[in-house]
A = this chain, B = another copy of it.
C-alpha cells in the first residue's frame, strides 16, 4: 500500500538476500575456512536452499569476492577518518593506534582475512581484489605522509614506501601474534607498538 510494492522483482529483497548469504558465508568461512565450508553449510546458515544462493551469486568464488569488496569499503572509511582529522599528523596516527590495534587483533574478523590472504596465494581473482584494496590503502597513507602536516614529507619516495609497508606489516602481523599467543592484549602490545610506529612516522636518526 505504501509504494508501488508489487509488480516485478523487489530489488530490496534481493539485496537483503545477498546480505544474508554474505553474512552466512563470512561466518562459515571464519569457522571452517573457504575450502572447509561447503555450500550446504552456508545455505543452512543463511536459511535458504543451496540452489537458491545461485540466484544471487554465480559461484562460491563470487561469494568470497563479494565479501572482499564489502570489507574493502570498510577499510577505506578507516583511512578517510585520519585524513579528515585536524592537527598534528604524528598525534593523529598515534592516537589512532589504540583502536587500530584493537581492530587488528580481532581474531574473528582476522580469521577471515587470513583465509582470504591464503586464498589469494592460489587464486588470482581474489589476489587482484585484495591488491586493489591494499593499493588504495597505501595511497591514502602515502598522501598523509607526504602531506603538509607530515614530519617526513621531505623523505624520498622509496623511504616513504618502505615506511608504509613496514607500518602495514606491523599492524597486520599483530593478528598472527594474537592467534599464536592469545594471551596478549591491546595494552601490552601498545607498549612497543607506539614507539615503533613513532619511529616509522618521524625522521630516522
**Inside 8 A of A193's CB, which chain B residues have their CB?**
162, 166
**Nearest Cβ on chain B to A193's Cβ, whole angstroms:** 6
Given A173-B168, A173-B169, A179-B33 contact (CB < 8 Å): no
Tell whether A191 is near chain B: CB-to-CB under 8 Å.
Answer: yes
Separation of A176 and B121 alpha carbons in the complex (Å): 10
**Inside 8 A of A159's CB, which chain B residues have their CB?**
191-192
Determine if B33 and A134 form an interchain contact, defined as CB atoms under 8 angstroms apart.
no
Residue on B nearest A184 in the bound complex, by CB? B165
**Inside 8 A of A162's CB, which chain B residues have their CB?**
188-193
Tell whether A122 is near chain B: CB-to-CB under 8 Å.
Answer: yes
Separation of A127 and B110 alpha carbons in the complex (Å): 15
Determine if B179 and A127 form an interchain contact, defined as CB atoms under 8 angstroms apart.
yes
Q: Is the interface of A mostly helix, strand, loop or mixed?
A: helix
Tell whether A36 is near chain B: CB-to-CB under 8 Å.
Answer: yes
Determine if B158 and A188 form an interchain contact, defined as CB atoms under 8 angstroms apart.
yes
Separation of A117 and B107 alpha carbons in the complex (Å): 11
Separation of A188 and B170 alpha carbons in the complex (Å): 15
Offer 26 A-B interface pairs, CB within 8 angstroms, sorted by A.
A31-B122, A111-B122, A114-B114, A114-B121, A120-B179, A120-B180, A130-B179, A131-B181, A161-B184, A162-B190, A162-B191, A163-B191, A165-B189, A165-B192, A166-B189, A166-B196, A169-B170, A169-B171, A170-B173, A170-B196, A172-B177, A192-B200, A195-B199, A195-B200, A195-B205, A198-B199
**Inside 8 A of A166's CB, which chain B residues have their CB?**
170, 189, 192-193, 196
Separation of A42 and B152 alpha carbons in the complex (Å): 51
Tell whether A19 is near chain B: CB-to-CB under 8 Å.
Answer: no
**Nearest Cβ on chain B to A200's Cβ, whole angstroms:** 6
